[in-house]
C-alpha cells in the first residue's frame, strides 16, 4: 500500500486543481457583468414578440449557489476547508483564487507533467522498480508544492509565505482524509 500512496497523493492534488478551476469558472459564468445588467434586447430577432422573462409554467432554473456550497463538493465538501485556523475568510478567498491561477502557471504545469510521466512509468514498472520510485514521487510532490506556493504568492501580493503554507497544508490534510475514507470504503466491500 505504501507504493500506491505517492500515486494517490498526486492524483488527489490533480483533482483538487480541477475542483478549483471548475468552481472558479462556474462562479465567473454565473456572475453578470455590468454591461449585461443594463443592456435591453433588441427587437430585430424572430423572437422579438416573445417575453424574455420566464413564464410561470417554465421549468425553474437552478438557484445561484452560496459561497462554499459547491456543486462538486458532495457530502464531505471541497478540497479546501471552509475554515482554517489563523486564516481569515477574506484571506481564504484570495488563496482559492490564487490557487486557481497557479494551475495555469508554467512551472506548476511542468511539475504536474513530470508527475504524469512518472505515474505512467510506474504503471508498467516491476515491483522492485516501484519501491525505488517512492523517493521520486516525494520529490515531485515537493516540486509541485513549491511551484504552487510561488505561483500563489505571485498571483496576489497579500498572500504571505506563512499563509500559503497554512492553506497548502490544509489541502494536503484534506486529501489525506479523503484517501483514508476511500481506503476504508474499499476494505469494507
* Nearest by Cα to 156 from 87, 88, 97: 97
Of residues 6, 57, 36, 22, the one with CA closest to residue 179: 6
Residues 159-185: tens digit of each pLDDT: 999 999 999 999 888 888 888 888 887
pLDDT (0 to 100) of residue 131: 82
pTM of the model: 0.56
Q: Quick check: 101 and 155 in contact, CB under 8 A? A: yes
The pLDDT tens digits for 116-139 are 999 998 888 888 888 888 889 899
**What pLDDT band is residue 56 in, cutting at 50, 70 and 90?**
low
| pLDDT beyond 80 at 54 | no
Q: CA 187 to CA 165: how far, in whole Å?
A: 33
Closest CA to 67 of 38, 127, 18, 24: 24
Is residue 42 predicted with pLDDT exceeding 60?
Answer: no
Amino acid at each position: 500500500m505504501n507504493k500506491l500512496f505517492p500515486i494517490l497523493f498526486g492524483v488527489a492534488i490533480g483533482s483538487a486543481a480541477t475542483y478549483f478551476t471548475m468552481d472558479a469558472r462556474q462562479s465567473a459564468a454565473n456572475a453578470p457583468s455590468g454591461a449585461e445588467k443594463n443592456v435591453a434586447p433588441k427587437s430585430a430577432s424572430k423572437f422579438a414578440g416573445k417575453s424574455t422573462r420566464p413564464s410561470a409554467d417554465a421549468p425553474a432554473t437552478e438557484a445561484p449557489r452560496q459561497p462554499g456550497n459547491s456543486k462538486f463538493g458532495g457530502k464531505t465538501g471541497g478540497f479546501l476547508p471552509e475554515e482554517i485556523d489563523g486564516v481569515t475568510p477574506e484571506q481564504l478567498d484570495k488563496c482559492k483564487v490564487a490557487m486557481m491561477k497557479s494551475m495555469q502557471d508554467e512551472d506548476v504545469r511542468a511539475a504536474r507533467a513530470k508527475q504524469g510521466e512518472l505515474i505512467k512509468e510506474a504503471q508498467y514498472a516491476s515491483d522492485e522498480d516501484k519501491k525505488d520510485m517512492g523517493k521520486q514521487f516525494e520529490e515531485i510532490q515537493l516540486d509541485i508544492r513549491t511551484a504552487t506556493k510561488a505561483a500563489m504568492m505571485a498571483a496576489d501580493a497579500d498572500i504571505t509565505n506563512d499563509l500559503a503554507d497554512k492553506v497548502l497544508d490544509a489541502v494536503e490534510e484534506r486529501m489525506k482524509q479523503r484517501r483514508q475514507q476511500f481506503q476504508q470504503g474499499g476494505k469494507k466491500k
